[in-house]
Every structure is written in C-alpha cells, then in structure tokens.
Structure 1
C-alpha cells in the first residue's frame, strides 16, 4: 500500500499501477502558468519593454511556480500533469517570434527561465507525493534555430531538408542520430523520474525509429509504467496505423476538437457521431487516446459564443465522460482563457462556482469505472442533443448533452432496453429523475447535461 500526502491528510492508494485509461491529464504551459521564482525571469527582464513587438516568449512562469500550485491541481482531481517543453530554448527572437518551448538549443539542460534539473526533479517528487504523475513534452523531431549541431559540418548528415517550421528535421533514420535522440530521452527519464513523454510532430520521423524508441525508453531506468504519446497531425487512419506499428500507448485525438464547433458555435451534433465512428474504425483502442477541447494556441473560451461558461462546461462534460483520456489545459477549470502569467489562479479561484462544477465532474469520472474503462454506444445524435451510453460490466451510465439554447426533453431506448424499463438516477445530485415503468421524458436544460445511472 502506498501513502500520499493530499490536502493535509495521508491517503492510501493500492500498489497496483493506475492504468493510462484512468488518467485525467492537466496541461501546463510553463511560461504562462505561475511565477514562483522571479530571479530566473531572464527573457522577461530582457524583452519586457518591447513585449508588444513579439509573439511567444517566456514571461515569468517557471517550475517553482508549478510546485507552488500542486495542491491546487491535486484538489482539482486531475491525476497527471503534462509539462510542456522544459529544455533550454533559443534565447533570441527570429523576426517577431520569441521561443515557446519548441526551439530546443540544448537538449541536456532545463531552460534557465524555468529553473534547473534539481527543481524539475523536486517537482516530480512533490507531484508523486500527491499521487500525481508527470509527463514531459520532448521536442526531439526538430532542433531549434540555434542548436549548435546545425553549424557543425561534421553533423551535416544528421539533418534532413528544411521543414515547414523553418528548420531541418533530425534524420532519425541515421543510426547515429537515433542513438543520440534516444540517449537524450533516456537521460531525461532517469534524472527527472517522470512518468511519460509527449512527442511533438512525431509524424515527421519514420515509424521504424519510433518503434525502436518506444522499446528502448520503456526498458530504460527507472523501470516502471511509462506512457509514450505522439502528436500526429495526420488523418485518423494514419494515426491508428502509426500507433499499432510503433507500439505507442495512444496518441492525441485531434478529431475531438470538432466539439469546439459543436458546443462552442452551435454546429450540428452529427460531427460528434462522425468522431465516434472514426475512432471505432481506425484507433486500436479509443480509450487510450488523449482528448482536449482546445489546444496550445487557442483556448475554447476564445472561440465560444455566448453563453461562454455554459458552452465550456458542456464541452468539458463531453471529454470527461467520453471514451478517451481527457486533457484539460490550465484555465479550462475556470472556463477562461488567459494570457498573463498566473491567470489561472485569480484571488477568487477557490470560490468559483464553475470550478466547483468541474471538480464534481472530475470526481465523478474518477469514481465511476464505466466512465474510464466502459464501452461506448451512441444513443442519439439529433436536434442539438448528443447522448451515449458507457457500459462496464453491469454498470450503465447514460450521458445526455444539449447543445441548444432551449431545454430539451429526452426519451429514447437505452441500448437493448426500452425507455420505460429504466430507473434513472442523477449521478451528480443523487436524485431519481425517472422511475422504472414510467414513460416520462428527462428534461435537459439549455446548454446543459444529465449524467444518469441506468438501473
């Protein structure tokens, strides 16, 4: 039995490792998250007077800031933290663009704006003490503009043609390059004691390299469950093939981002039906796929129509009950988009009604195996209503999402059972919403949802 320190109490956890499908992931873009150490604000101090001239950049967020907020994340109920790149980046602008983590100049050290290796290890250790796992984003497909190997004539064969991002990709089919990149990642795994890697733009490298990468990284010390997830900006058929051939634990399911248009802009719920069919057809295991409602560059709240809060909560309900591993970015839990460092931690954060609702949804997912591991069956996709059933053994949970600005009354066969035969109990408030033997419909509020146990 393992003990963890959470909210001032020692809590016991079983020794059995938590499977990947049980995770709720929280994405931390370090430079935007929280400033815990003002002494390392090197880029901020250098460029702050001309900030309006630049895009990107590191403006104060650091690893100490993440450590300072670990209790908040544990209290939110998330189970894994995805740290966006920590490696030393280029420290000069390219035209109007300052680095954002994806221009690695030194693959062996933590960026000086974020802290150092000891602080990273302290963060991982502190997260583990709260039963939180930590994944690192490893930008090893492309070097930064100022990586020293680019200027080394002896390393010319290490690089391919220039990519769409303005730098050549590492030629990982070259055994020397493969040895180097795998060695880099083995060292990060060992010195940080992290629990997994995200691999940026993985489709730019051959699957043969990733097959070797996965095998060697999983075997490298420390030996423990280790999740490896690629970002693959290709179509779902290619993603499924890539996962299967390389042996990845899953991948990003960017198809789920269509929920931004459905719940954020009121587009047809048929798009969600298409996502479900695509996942079943092409992904080896949809439950292992990582599902966000927004991305690194554009938060859901920036594209959603009014009422933004209700639409954001509906989209979060979708990914927290879907057969995927949900990914929340900092700020999603408040229903906000923020640009200033620390924007996800306003003074009134802990009294936010929106935050309380998101905590309840995460707690429900963590409590109900059917929402994490259950089979997925679509029930209805019409008239702005999307409903599906999650089934695990004898447990059945019906999720009804209403993307309309009007209330909807819902009644439909639930799997192989007639509507009147089901006793429905709301899992968030414990009340019976429909008695067995009744034909009464369930009312779902405008931009609202119902999550009910079917008995």
Structure 2
C-alpha cells in the first residue's frame, strides 16, 4: 500500500467510535487484563517468547505471547460476563533484557510513546478501545509513570540528571516529578495517550512515590485534556488507609485501590476471624471520602485468591466474589476469577468448555444481580454481624433493603436478627439468587447459609 494510503488508513482508525455514555465511576464493575498472559491472537509478535521461551524456567515474569489482538478477540466473552469496564495493564514499550532472574512485565517502561512490540501498536490499542466502547465497556489504561525502566534513554542523558531522584526499592530511580520539566514530560505522555487511545481513565502505579503537588497538577490537567472531561484517575497507593484518604481528597483522584478488602483472602480463603472484615469496613468508612469509589479485588497482581485459599477452593473463591460484588466498593475481577481458577499459561482463562462452567454461570448471575439492584451499587452500608464465621451487612437505598449473609465457616450457619428496628419474625425475605421466597412474614424460620456459602435476600 502506498505510504499516503497507509497514513490515511491509520488516521481513520484513530478517529474511533463514540465513547461510552457517561456514568458514575461508582457504577462500574471492572475486569482486569494482564496482557502478556490473557490471550495470544497474533503469534507473529511473540518476540520475547522466541528469545527467552526455551529458558523460561530460569525467569520470573515475561511476555509469553498475550497481545492486544488477543484482547480484541475475546471482548465478546468479556462483555458477556456483564462487567462494565476493563483495566488493561501497561501497553507501552518495556525494557528488553532481564534484571537478574526478572523479565519485564509492563512496569519497566523504556519508551512511553510506543506500544511494546510483543503487544502490537498504537492502532491496536485504539482498536481495542473502540471495540470495547461498541460493547458498552469503558477502558482504563495502566500508566506506570512513577518509575522508568532500566533502559529508558533519559537515564543515560547527562543533561537530565536532575530528572531523577534516589533509587527506589526496585533498583531504578524514581522520576523527580517535583521538577517542572519532569512534570511537563509525564503529564504530556498521559495527555497524548488519553487523546490517541480514546480511553476512559488511567490507573497510576505506585502513586505514593511522587509528591502531592505533582498529583494535584496531574489530575487537574488530565481531566481538562481532550477528548472527554469525565475521565477517571485511580492511583495505586500501598500506604495505610488514612494516607490513601488524604491522597484522594487533596489530589482529586476519583478513588483508589482498597487493599483492605484483600483481607477476604485470609478470612474466606483460610478461615481467619471475620472480625478482620469488620475492621476493614470501619476503616474504610472512617478514612476514605467515599468507600463506594474504592476498587476492591480478591487477587493481587502476583497471586490469585484460588492459589492462596485452602480447600474447598471453588466454594471459597465464589464466597469472596460474592463479598466484593455486594460490598460498597467498585468490584475488580481479574481474568480467571470468573472461572475460579488461576493460570500461568497464555489463554488459560479461555479453556475448552468455558461456557459450560457452572462456576461461570454463578458469577455472571452475581454480576447481573449487582447491576439489577441499585441498593448494591449506590446503597448505604450497615454492618450487622461479624462472628462465628458469619459476616452480615445491609445495603439500603431508599425503601429498598438487601441483606447479605456470608458464611466463611465449614458448617451451616443460621441468621435471624432484627433489621432496621424490625423483629426478625415480621420480615419477608425474597431470595435474590435462587428466586422465590426465602422466608414469609410471620415465620420464625432463620436464614441458613451453607458452609462457605452466601445468602442475598431482599427485605420487605
């Protein structure tokens, strides 16, 4: 194709489709995609796999084949889950050499302006965003702008020594964003990605490594930059909740990760005291400006809940998902959560027979329930019980009340306490999972949650 024709074709691709209609960040259900292990739809770009694959056992990390074309290929299945947004881990060009036993996994940016050649190109990013928008999905891009990669060319530039602070715990110096030139550079990078990708928001890795003065400017300028003002900016802040709350208030972030919710790993995964969840809930309501704007996962980047949990793994994982899908947070499901699996091989979230999975059907039903019931998205939260393995809470929106009873113990538990000042006997309970009546008004029958089970009922 002549160069002029190719230029016009790429320009046309970058115009893109219409963005998803505006909706509050707190209404979202997010699906996290780690590109390198999600799905390989283009074997021609498996550069790292070809270079290091034969010695893979020697290394941790690495781009083993997943790519942007793979995300594009599986968007129908992602949308079919009922999630409303996808979080895509870093797309930009990374270092290409190991650091000891560690290969790059997206957080060693070598060139912020280019897409890593293992993943595709800028047009592929825009294609994914547009295709997601066509399915009603918002797209959040992960931007690792607090630290450069070891191979970033500015590190070797004598004229830019003042651009870097001391070495971080990862062995590379942080960007010195209090330097106005550095701030200009990093904000410019993100503005350009916002415009050319058409994304709906950005996740900021390790935001606590940069000063508040920078983040105030960053948030103000990114929100004002084209193409749309309803742009979500979410920091990762691995500090205590009090400090996280301060970051959100002062900088104007839309929310942040709520790592306190990860205590469900110990509680539902290993049978520790449910009082930990009660403490996390009180902490959230004390320190976060709006707990409903905080994003709650059951996995972290490095280890899946199902790998962490004792048996029965499937039941414990489903219980943890019921927790984040009924809590007053924005739920974050990582690829594989919907099947109750962890995977290391590319494409592991799409095994043969995926659509026949009963676990998948149950998770889709939980997601649909959250989307159907306003009290689960926007409702107030009231803790009711946290003892003997049972964690119970009420979600309330106007006259609508939903009772959630989660049983983290290995035996059935009964629940029969007054709700909102009304005696248990007077309540009618409608089962929001199985359908039908869970308890008639005038009946003393308790609500029973089976071992590692959840009950979600509407209170009338």
TM norm. shorter chain > 0.5: yes
| 2:59 paired residue number | 54
- Find 1:72's aligned residue among 77, 84, 91: 77
- Find 2:184's aligned residue among 179, 183, 188: 179
State whether structure 2 residue 239 is matched by structure 1 residue 234: yes
State whether structure 2 residue 411 is matched by structure 1 residue 393: no
State whether structure 2 residue 172 is matched by structure 1 residue 167: yes
State whether structure 2 residue 101 is matched by structure 1 residue 96: yes
Q: Distance in 2 between matches of 1:383 and 1:260?
A: 17
| 2:426 paired residue number | 421
Structure 1 residues 279-428: aligned runs within 5 Å? 279-428=284-433
Q: Distance in 2 between matches of 1:249 and 1:136?
A: 15
User: Which string of whole-angstrom CA distances, capped at 9 and with x for unpartnered residues, describes residues 30-62 of structure 1?
Assistant: 000000100000000111111111110000000
| 1:134 paired residue number | 139
For the residue of structure 1 that corresponds to 2:384, the secondary structure is strand
Unaligned regions of 5+ residues in structure 2, if any? 1-17
Q: How far 1:83 moved relative to its partner? A: 0.2
| 1:8 paired residue number | none
| 1:4 paired residue number | none
State whether structure 2 residue 121 is matched by structure 1 residue 110: no
Q: Distance in 2 between matches of 1:18 and 1:430?
A: 29
State whether structure 2 residue 239 is matched by structure 1 residue 221: no
| 1:446 paired residue number | 451
User: Which string of whole-angstrom CA distances, capped at 9 and with x for unpartnered residues, describes residues 296-338 of structure 1?
Assistant: 1000010100000000000000000000000000000000000
Q: Distance in 1 between matches of 2:246 and 2:426?
A: 42
State whether structure 2 residue 152 is matched by structure 1 residue 152: no
User: Which string of whole-angstrom CA distances, capped at 9 and with x for unpartnered residues, describes residues 376-430 of structure 1?
Assistant: 0001111000000000011100000001110111101112222112110001122
- Find 1:198's aligned residue among 189, 203, 226: 203
| 1:7 paired residue number | none
| 2:38 paired residue number | 33
Q: Distance in 1 between matches of 2:415 and 2:441?
A: 15
For the residue of structure 2 that corresponds to 1:115, the secondary structure is coil
- Distance verdict in 2 for CA 1:319–1:15, change over 3 Å: closer
User: Which string of whole-angstrom CA distances, capped at 9 and with x for unpartnered residues, describes residues 88-144 of structure 1?
Assistant: 000111111100000000010110000000000000000000000000000000000
The alignment yields a C-alpha RMSD, in angstroms, of 1.2
- Distance verdict in 2 for CA 1:406–1:368, change over 3 Å: same
Q: Distance in 2 between matches of 1:116 and 1:366?
A: 34
Q: Distance in 1 between matches of 2:152 and 2:81?
A: 38
User: Which string of whole-angstrom CA distances, capped at 9 and with x for unpartnered residues, describes residues 196-244 of structure 1?
Assistant: 0000000000011001000100110102411000000000000001100
Q: Distance in 2 between matches of 1:115 and 1:147?
A: 20
Q: Distance in 1 between matches of 2:434 and 2:53?
A: 48
TM normalised by structure 2 equals 0.95
User: Which string of whole-angstrom CA distances, capped at 9 and with x for unpartnered residues, describes residues 132-161 of structure 1?
Assistant: 000000000000001000000000000001
Q: Distance in 1 between matches of 2:131 and 2:457?
A: 36
User: Which string of whole-angstrom CA distances, capped at 9 and with x for unpartnered residues, describes residues 58-82 of structure 1?
Assistant: 0000000000000000000111000
For the residue of structure 2 that corresponds to 1:275, the secondary structure is helix
Contact 1:63 1:123 in 2 (8 A): yes
Runs of 4+ in 1 over 2 A off after TM superposition: 13-16
Aligned length: 443
Q: How far 1:18 moved relative to its partner? A: 1.5
TM normalised by structure 1 equals 0.96
Contact 2:404 2:455 in 1 (8 A): yes
Q: How far 1:15 moved relative to its partner? A: 8.6
